[in-house]
Structure 1
Amino acid sequence: MAKRGDGKKFSVLIAGGGSTYTPGIVLTLLNGLDKFPLRKLKFYDIDGERQEKIAEATEILLKERAPEIEFLATTDPEKAFTDVDFVMAQIRVGKYAMRDVDEKIPLKHGVVGQETTGPGGIAYGLRSIPGVIGLVKYMEKYSPDAWMLNYSNPAAIVAEATRRECPNSKIINICDMPIGIMDRMAEIVGLKDRNELDFRYYGLNHFGWWTDVWDKEGNNLMPELKEYVSKNGYWIGGDYDKGTEASWEATFKMAADTFALDPTTLPNTYLKYYMYPTQVVEHSDPHHTRTDEVREHREKNVFSECKRIVKEGTAKDTNFVPDDHSTYIVDLCEAIAYNTHQRMLAIIPNEGAISNIDPTATVEVPCLFGSNGPERLAMGEAAQYQAGMITEQNSVEKLAVDAWQQHSYTKLWQAFSLCKIVPDAKVAKDILDEMIIANKDYWPELK
């Protein structure tokens, strides 16, 4: 365990160096060198050409801001994973071409098309499992004392798979969606950011509820938040939401509808897909989905900015900024490195954290983070409404991993048909059969 001021510097690997989220992580690391000093920064990606575009701009940024940090971008796993303290994993197996399929095939059948929920999320999960497990194996081989913080989606299915396949590995599955919502909560009640909040939360990834929110003095913020969310959802507007894409505006606003189903808690935004799938489909364009928006905005903007930096030879005027994704993962590294026991969310085996839920479920609950990883906090019993939904969705996730492990068509069909988003088993089978063809290069052969 390191101590602040002892001179120890850390080596960080970003696995998925070609991700559009990588520049934000780099900037967050550079902005926090006084708290979390670096000696090495590495990128690893199997798509060297895509990664190189980010790496060239990063190299210029590092030379201007922190030339003492050793930098390497590579497609060689041994070079990447040797001598690292933390691995930040954010891979997308199949890239946006397969995300496009995940969204559009279900919509063709009148079912929600979304990258982490429903059929699309299950399809993505079966692609992600071997990719993430491969990263864990590299880390254990070349840097066995390192920690992996995994953002690779869909986190719930990945977490269930790593629980089974890598039970003793030092991988922590995390998600920034609740973090972004808590920043919005802080803004609603007039606080600086999420770090000024205390909270209780339970559920599955992209499938959870806040039962309590306080400020650091112990004042109950739930009444004020509930009143706001009942009218506006988590939408704030104005300068705060300047640049927020239309699809996210709709998602934040729709939290009001989800909240109405249980006014005793505050919902994760992704619950809209499970509670109002018909409405979501009605407002979806099956020919222009979230993947197209990402390509037109984030993807285009990030790579254009990298190209500009390389062309001009300077990153001094860059428009890259840290975001929820990057600040959360760096905060977690700092908590582990310095044993701070900061309270943050993670997706971990339940083991009693939610007392009336399967102990082997991979749940998302607050944990205290220190040098030995996360220590889950007890959230008590889930209410009947939440317990029923969690049990059903957790079964979907377990069946999906069963299907991957057993190469079972039936298990995967069961996962599709049990999912609350899918109307019946016939529709589930039709979607699955199309998904099998589309994923022939990624999924195991199902029997």
Structure 2
Amino acid sequence: MKKQSIVIAGGGSTFTPGIVLMLLENLDRFPIRQIKFYDNDEERQNTVADACEVIIKEKAPDIQFVKTTDPEEGFSDVDFVMAHIRVGKYKMREMDEKIPLKYDVVGQETCGPGGMSYGMRSIGGVLELIDYMEEYSPDAWMLNYSNPAAIVAEATRKLRPNARILNICDMPISIENLMVKILGMNSRKDLNVRYYGLNHFGWWTSITDKEGNDLMPALKQHVSENGYAVNFDDSGQHVDSSWQDTFKKVKDVYALDPDTLPNTYLKYYMYPQDEVAKADPTYTRANEVMDGREKHVFGECRKIAANQTTEGSTLEIDEHASYIVDLARAIAYNTGERMLLIVENKGAIANFDDTAMVEVPCIVGSNGPEPITQGEIPRFQKGLMEQQVAVEKLVVEAWEEGSRQKLWQALTLSRTVPNGRVAEELMEELIEANGEFWPVMN
């Protein structure tokens, strides 16, 4: 197997150490000759990179390691760009969450006004990475898991239509891991699933085991009573209370259409008032992450760098991220892996906009993804998805044209925003908060 060269774009992310550990754990399946970190924040990246250099020396000393803020150095001689950038960092995520809550509107990083605000920041950042990749390693593929994936995917479809980029999300994988726990099975790889939707906005229509046995009845029974909540053991997978609430809330979303099993994020669109009621407008998820994961990861990284050893470190392999290896392997070695990806519809959902970026199962090989057709979808889901696709397309058009009008329309159209007046007031505050990150809005 050819050894691969990778650049992680967003080298200073709190998720980067877990991804590096995961890559090193999978070298038998996906051999690596070089890992590069690229970030435009040198200080933040150094904190993570100096620790990861020690980790790589201990676990795989033959892998060459490079950290850089120079695009040419970062993107030359690479096979894969693994992109997880957060333009504006957690400070701006905090704004995305807190500004909407002032108007009794959902404050969430990928859904509703917060997601649109984040999307307007992310588009330029992801397009910049694509341009670097195409200039310095034109045969490389970008595996993009920068959020909000739906808006970013629409932007790349429209503004970089020929780019070798695959947009992916780990939420369905996390949910399938819960399903496996509910069923008492060992691995989500033992499931055959049919699924359709948009990113953070989809439904499972069929789940069987490898022998073809229907697993939906047992799952539906559990979900109707508990949502996706399960008893988490002490296996190291920490699930905090906000996620436990999210898994339980699925019970209410499921009740709207008991023929399918829903993505957890649909709660923000179906029951926005419940999410607002239990949110703390002074301490949101961004604060939890800054006080929790960010402090922990950076603290551990500093310890490793100072001691030049990982002994006693509590950094964990990001098991969820193993799908990134599956995807990279599928492209590098033409494995024909079946995976959920965000792709241009082009008939995958028969009665839906061909240009919509939909999330459906695909067979992935060295030429990229081949979507598996899901047939026609019911009116309920079709109506919801059409509304949401319109929101996403308007956001991308607003970014491209610097159009206040289109952004106002997008906010007004979102199921999370009650009316046009609130949409306009929210928009003006978001424009002000995002001054340095958004295009000039006319």
Q: Considering the TM-score relative to the shorter chain, is it more than 0.5?
A: yes
Preserved CA contact (<8 Å) 2:170 2:320: yes
1:284-295 maps to which residues of 2 (within 5 A)?
Answer: 284-295=279-290
Preserved CA contact (<8 Å) 2:22 2:319: no
In the alignment of these two chains, the number of paired residues is: 441
Matching residue of 2:338: 343
Letter in 2 for 1:243: H
Letter in 1 for 2:129: L
Preserved CA contact (<8 Å) 1:78 1:138: yes
Q: CA deviation at 1:323?
A: 2.5
Preserved CA contact (<8 Å) 1:179 1:324: no
Preserved CA contact (<8 Å) 2:21 2:318: no
Preserved CA contact (<8 Å) 1:368 1:375: yes
1:51-66 maps to which residues of 2 (within 5 A)?
Answer: 51-66=45-60
Deviates more, 1:184-193 or 1:278-287: 184-193
1:257-272 maps to which residues of 2 (within 5 A)?
Answer: 257-272=252-267
Determine the C-alpha separation between the residues in 1 that align with 2:238 and 2:198: 29
Alignment deviations for residues 127-169 of structure 1 (CA, whole Å, 9 cap, x no partner)? 0001000000000000000000001111100000100111111
Q: CA deviation at 1:174?
A: 0.5
Determine the C-alpha separation between the residues in 1 that align with 2:321 and 2:70: 24
Determine the C-alpha separation between the residues in 2 that align with 1:54 and 1:442: 24
Determine the C-alpha separation between the residues in 1 that align with 2:244 and 2:347: 36
Would you say 1:158 and 2:142 are equivalent positions? Answer: no
Matching residue of 1:434: 429
Matching residue of 1:387: 382
**1:307 maps to which of 288, 299, 302:** 302
Matching residue of 2:36: 42
Would you say 1:208 and 2:218 are equivalent positions? Answer: no
1:117-132 maps to which residues of 2 (within 5 A)?
Answer: 117-132=111-126
Runs of 4 or more above 3 Å deviation: none
Look up the SS of the partner of 2:56 in the other structure. Answer: helix
CA 1:406–1:105 in structure 2 vs 1: closer, same or farther (change >3 Å)? Answer: same
1:117-266 maps to which residues of 2 (within 5 A)?
Answer: 117-239=111-233, 243-266=238-261
Q: TM-score, normalised by structure 2?
A: 0.98
Look up the SS of the partner of 2:11 in the other structure. Answer: coil
**1:74 maps to which of 52, 58, 68:** 68
Matching residue of 2:366: 371
Determine the C-alpha separation between the residues in 1 that align with 2:78 and 2:394: 34
1:11-50 maps to which residues of 2 (within 5 A)?
Answer: 11-50=5-44
Deviates more, 1:314-323 or 1:396-405: 314-323
Q: CA deviation at 1:39?
A: 0.5
Q: CA deviation at 1:194?
A: 1.2
Determine the C-alpha separation between the residues in 1 that align with 2:122 and 2:321: 21
Q: CA deviation at 1:243?
A: 2.5
Look up the SS of the partner of 1:366 in the other structure. Answer: strand
Determine the C-alpha separation between the residues in 1 that align with 2:386 and 2:23: 38
Preserved CA contact (<8 Å) 1:368 1:377: yes
- Runs (5+) with no aligned partner, structure 1: none
Look up the SS of the partner of 2:351 in the other structure. Answer: coil
Preserved CA contact (<8 Å) 1:21 1:325: no
Letter in 1 for 2:293: R
Determine the C-alpha separation between the residues in 2 that align with 1:326 and 1:41: 16
Determine the C-alpha separation between the residues in 2 that align with 1:392 and 1:101: 25
Look up the SS of the partner of 2:139 in the other structure. Answer: coil
Alignment deviations for residues 310-355 of structure 1 (CA, whole Å, 9 cap, x no partner)? 2222114432222354211111101111111111011111001111
Q: CA deviation at 1:113?
A: 0.3
Determine the C-alpha separation between the residues in 2 that align with 1:181 and 1:93: 27
CA 1:324–1:253 in structure 2 vs 1: closer, same or farther (change >3 Å)? Answer: farther
Deviates more, 1:179-188 or 1:308-317: 308-317
Letter in 1 for 2:422: V
Letter in 1 for 2:11: G
Preserved CA contact (<8 Å) 1:21 1:326: no
Would you say 1:353 and 2:348 are equivalent positions? Answer: yes
Deviates more, 1:312-321 or 1:390-399: 312-321
Look up the SS of the partner of 2:343 in the other structure. Answer: strand
Preserved CA contact (<8 Å) 1:352 1:378: yes
CA 1:241–1:67 in structure 2 vs 1: closer, same or farther (change >3 Å)? Answer: closer
Look up the SS of the partner of 1:238 in the other structure. Answer: coil
Alignment deviations for residues 276-330 of structure 1 (CA, whole Å, 9 cap, x no partner)? 0001100000001000110111111111111121222211443222235421111
Q: CA deviation at 1:241?
A: 8.1
Determine the C-alpha separation between the residues in 2 that align with 1:26 and 1:340: 22
CA 1:117–1:211 in structure 2 vs 1: closer, same or farther (change >3 Å)? Answer: same
Letter in 1 for 2:38: Y
Report the RMSD for the aligned CA atoms in angstroms: 1.0
Matching residue of 2:329: 334
Q: CA deviation at 1:242?
A: 5.6
